[in-house]
Chain A
């Protein structure tokens, strides 16, 4: 029998009760899910991305379903950091939620990251910061995670501005070599990298002769991207010495186990919350049995089990 403590996991300085979190942009501000989801069971909640200033977001339609996937171009619709701190954080930090809150932030320019990080420094109720370096839907925004040096500099600036808070860097898969970018983030001093954000895609209505999304292109998520995201985790786990949070199409206990043995120390479940709102807590209940099946007695023993031991046959 695997004790509950064996489910805990570490992402650098961030300690989580279990390795299953819910991903940014797919769980609102959690309040919407009260009554449906038992928050106390979760490894953590990453609320919807917050930006320094309010953003109305992109014109609808903002989502389009594709085969086993979902394209979105929400456009970081949010009320801004101050609104979040006043109206959402107190509740998220309350005993009603009682699970680690990872604040996800995005910025229009490199200097906004340290500004935001400095603003939340020392505030109670935030367990870690996750830098959204990778939203594909923000017009005019710089993609901070497409160049290793830029990625390192942005991560370092946020770390300097808020040195006490564990820091996660959420990367885009829309790059030639994600290993280089992850190395850049690690060099910048993050505690872990979150792999990955959505894959850039498009859906077209040829009869109406236009893209389906109001924004044109969007980010693909859901089961369709799981092998691609798993590959990113695999590559980085074998090359970079940094804890990994696996993200991308994770919907079942099998998916969670695949990401962990590939090298993820934790996972975030995203799009599944849209179509199976209680999936994350159900998977957490299934975790002890899956670890036993793997022949290990803790999450720590499962992490990287395959990527560390497997070598291609000669």
Chain B
């Protein structure tokens, strides 16, 4: 309901040509788009709406996190990458795009990941399935490998851990990229085909107590991670994806219950697209049960 947070953030609506489209893992594709203007605005934690022009089925754009920015040989900004899992009409179409094809893109949208408090030296990222996608750019930024939105690269923390869970090894995408970015990666698979056999919370159990958790993935996983963090007194941020028609804040579809002292009920609906997508897990009503 709260409409006061609608801020004007730099955002662009462009037609972007496909530079490359590569399969990273089972049903998982990385789409590289040309678009220096859009890429120059993007920060880790933000997302883009992507759509194929000239057709009404599928109709709406789909939200995708900034996976990475694309640089040329001289370090100049060329475009950006998104990574997606093929689950429906739009992602099936996207996986079939060829270099030279074009898509409509608008963004960056939403807020970047919140600042890590000064005392935190180690950030623990927890990803479930395709929920890993906002974390590559973030790992680069935290470890000083790359700057975003005009800022130069600067090391923010000493260590980034990625606890990355999937059903099986074939669904884990981009492990090399995370390792290359300097993150310590702990894969967790439910069938034990790679890394730890178990879930991300089993992975968290094996680590030194985290200082600052950021999680992204399916709802049951976020629920489990938020609970794990709460029971141990670890601050936990979660990046959400909810059904979204516009990504711009105009449709009021993607709302989530957020704690609010101003409401008699103790909560208010906020729009994930502009008030999020990252929220403090402690403020999300549905993660407290």
Q: A residues engaging B (CB < 8 A)?
A: 25-29, 31-36, 48, 54-57, 60-65, 67-70, 72, 74, 77-79, 83, 87-88, 222-224, 251, 271, 273-278
Contacts and interface: CB of A to CB of B under 8 A. Distances in A.
Interface in B229-259: 242-243, 245-246, 248-256
A74 B129 CA distance: 29
Given A78-B3, A222-B56, A277-B13, A32 B51 contact: no
Given A32-B274, A70-B60, A63 B1 contact: no
Interface of B: 1-4, 6, 8-13, 51, 56-61, 104, 106, 242-243, 245-246, 248-256, 265, 268-269, 274
Contact of A63 (B2, B51, B253): B253
B284 to A, nearest CB: 13
A225 B195 CA distance: 51
B265 to A, nearest CB: 7
Nearest to A56: B1
A72 B56 contact: no
Given A65-B59, A79-B4, A87-B3, 5 more contacts: A63-B251, A67-B57, A69-B59, A74-B251, A251-B56
A31 B6 contact: yes
23 contacts: A25-B251, A28-B6, A28-B248, A29-B6, A32-B6, A35-B9, A36-B11, A36-B12, A36-B13, A60-B254, A61-B253, A62-B243, A62-B254, A74-B253, A77-B1, A77-B252, A222-B56, A224-B56, A273-B246, A274-B250, A274-B251, A275-B59, A277-B106
A62 B255 contact: yes
B59 A70 contact: yes
Contacts of A224: 56
Contact of A274 (B2, B243, B245, B268): B245
Contacts of A62: 243, 252-255
A60 B256 contact: yes
A60 B242 contact: yes
Q: Which 5 A-B pairs have the closest CB atoms?
A: A28-B250, A32-B249, A274-B246, A63-B253, A68-B56
Contact of A33 (B57, B60, B243, B248): B248
A56 B257 CA distance: 10
